[in-house]
């Protein structure tokens, strides 16, 4: 059985594995992805933020603590939404359960939208990017991260890591991840860039999670992360 989308994280075994993975102080999420996401989002004080695929909303607590005026998390997973509501207790943050493909944004309702490591679960970006553009006010910023296309291109990593293969044959991939099979969708770097432009954004940044030594406790983990780009980031501005 292969899981599609948010249903993957409603498998209790997968969710337990996810929690253990995130508890690692040198997880790729915390050493590579989160620092760069914060950098690209810029100063969040006074900003109204929507977080697509918000997961447990720990990032929402962080953004609110940094002065964000409001935070709305969107996620389709029951397990994630339950944890997110607990995480946001005592804050003005909110979370809504919705598949991203079904999300209907309130027009001009926010100034920042982020999507962290969720878009590679979606078969199409067009509708979601259109809703993000609708949700943002003029001048608003959209920042997303995805698994790097050199990772998603090949769905069976070997003992020595990932191999780039069938790179330009985009689309559905089935891969083993956190104890279960899950469907992901491979897109090239160019595909992501063009999708942002087609939705009406001006692309302001393209980044590849280059490791920063200060974010790692061990030389070994830092050296390993220099070998393969794990994540791709893009930032687009609404005119």
What pLDDT shows up at residue 160? 56
Total domains, the chain: 1
pTM: 0.94
CATH assignment of the domain containing 17 = 3.40.50.150
Q: What is the pLDDT of residues 90-99, one digit of tens each?
A: 999 999 999 9
Domain of 161 in residue numbering reads as 2-238
What pLDDT shows up at residue 156? 63
Q: What is the pLDDT of residues 26-49, one digit of tens each?
A: 899 999 999 999 999 999 999 999
Contacts of 183 (CB under 8 A, 6+ apart): 2, 3, 4, 5, 121, 172, 173, 174
By CB atoms closer than 10 A (0-12, 13-18, 19+), residue 162 is buried
- Please give the residue that has the higher pLDDT: either 11 or 99: 99
């Amino acid at each position: 059985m292969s899981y599609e989308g948010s249903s993957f994280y409603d498998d209790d075994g997968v969710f337990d594995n996810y929690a253990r993975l995130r508890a690692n102080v040198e997880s790729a999420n915390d050493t590579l992805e989160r620092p760069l996401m914060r950098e690209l989002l810029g100063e969040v004080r006074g900003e109204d933020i929507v977080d697509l695929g918000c997961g447990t909303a720990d990032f929402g607590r962080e953004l609110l603590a940094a002065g964000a005026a409001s935070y709305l998390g969107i996620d389709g997973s029951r397990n994630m939404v339950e944890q997110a509501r607990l995480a946001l207790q005592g804050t003005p943050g909110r979370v809504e359960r919705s598949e991203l493909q079904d999300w209907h944004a309130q027009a001009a309702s926010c100034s920042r939208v982020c999507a962290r490591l969720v878009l590679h679960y979606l078969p199409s970006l067009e509708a979601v990017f259109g809703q993000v553009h609708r949700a943002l006010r003029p001048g608003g910023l959209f920042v997303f991260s995805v698994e790097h296309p050199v990772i998603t291109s090949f769905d069976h990593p070997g003992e020595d890591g990932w191999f780039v293969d069938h790179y330009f044959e985009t689309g559905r991939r089935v891969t083993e991840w956190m104890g279960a099979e899950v469907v992901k969708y491979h897109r090239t770097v160019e595909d992501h860039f063009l999708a942002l432009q087609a939705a009406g954004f001006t692309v302001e940044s393209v980044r590849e999670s280059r490791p920063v030594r200060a974010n790692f406790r061990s030389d070994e983990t830092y050296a390993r992360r220099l070998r393969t780009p794990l994540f791709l980031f893009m930032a687009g501005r609404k005119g």
